[in-house]
Amino acid sequence: MESSEENLEIAKHRVLLTGASGFIGSHVLRDLSERAGFEVHPLSRYKRGREWLQADICNEDEIDALELSGYSEIVHCAGRAHIMRESDANPLQSYRDVNVVPTARLARKAAESGVKRFIFISSVKVNGESTVARGAFKETDKPAPEDAYSVSKMEAESVLLSIARETGLEVVIVRPVLVYGAGVKGNFRTLMKLASSRLPLPVAAFKNKRSLVGVDNVADFIGVCIEHPGAANEVFLVSDGRDLSVSQLLCELSRAAGRPSFQFPFPLRLLEVTAQLFGKRAMFRRVAGSLEVDSSKARELLHWQAPVSLSDGLKRCFKDME
């Protein structure tokens, strides 16, 4: 017969994971499921397996019907993702309806049900969009969101910290920078295709710096945030700890793809004008701009180090494309 201590160790952390079918959520699900002492229950709008829970976080009745009393932690990855070309007539309200209201409802129910800790996946965009005229972003900086998506994330953070003060629920806010990894889409996937194309690229003059984080590193960090006592009621910027220019990133991507990198200098202003002609000015500015973070708090307070190197993380991106 197993001792009571052994039984407790088996289910030390019983975790409810929302957004488990998404890019970050799917990696968190795999990471936590492989950890000793973790019992993970994925939640999605659509039932994807016998062990999956089904609920729409935007449906008040469905959230109210969830039985949360047996969970020790909730990892909240679900939400409305950032959209480059927003067509909604009232984008801020649309983001609030998904990123703020359901988050607050779920957190309050968690507190009432005895859940100990609530980990919320936010975004570096709460800090701002660029560090060109300043130093790296820190957690202590005044928020400076510039679009509806980042405003909604900031508001969700604020309401969660308020709930924490009112109820004693421990809240952990994680602000990842640009996330890459197996299954990545958007601008990063476009860069991957360029890097593996063997085409000469006019990026040698780029001197910008951007912080990156591998999705497997984000998942590992969330696991640390679940277990570490020092994570309670803290905000963390999370990155790999290595900042790259577009030129450097494309070199690394080419290396990961097993292809040579061909780059030449070209005036950045002309590149921006060309991008504007093709309706890609916003994408150009995102790629060409600088956004650096100081993620030393995670290392110093939680003793966390990114377990997956940049080169290995990029190789996983290309393996997923095969």
Structure token pair of residue 83: 């959209």
What sign has the CA pseudo-torsion 53, 56, 57, 59?
Answer: negative
10 Å Cβ neighbour count for 87?
A: 6
201: which 2 tokens? Answer: 């690229």
**CB proximity list for 257: less than 8 A, separation 6 or greater:** 192, 195, 196, 318
At residue 76, the 3 state secondary structure works out as strand
Close Cβ partners of 101 (under 8 Å, ≥ 6 residues apart): 58
Catalytic residue numbers?
A: 149
Distance CA 65, CA 53 (A): 12
Helix axis angle, 186-195 to 281-288, nearest 10° = 80
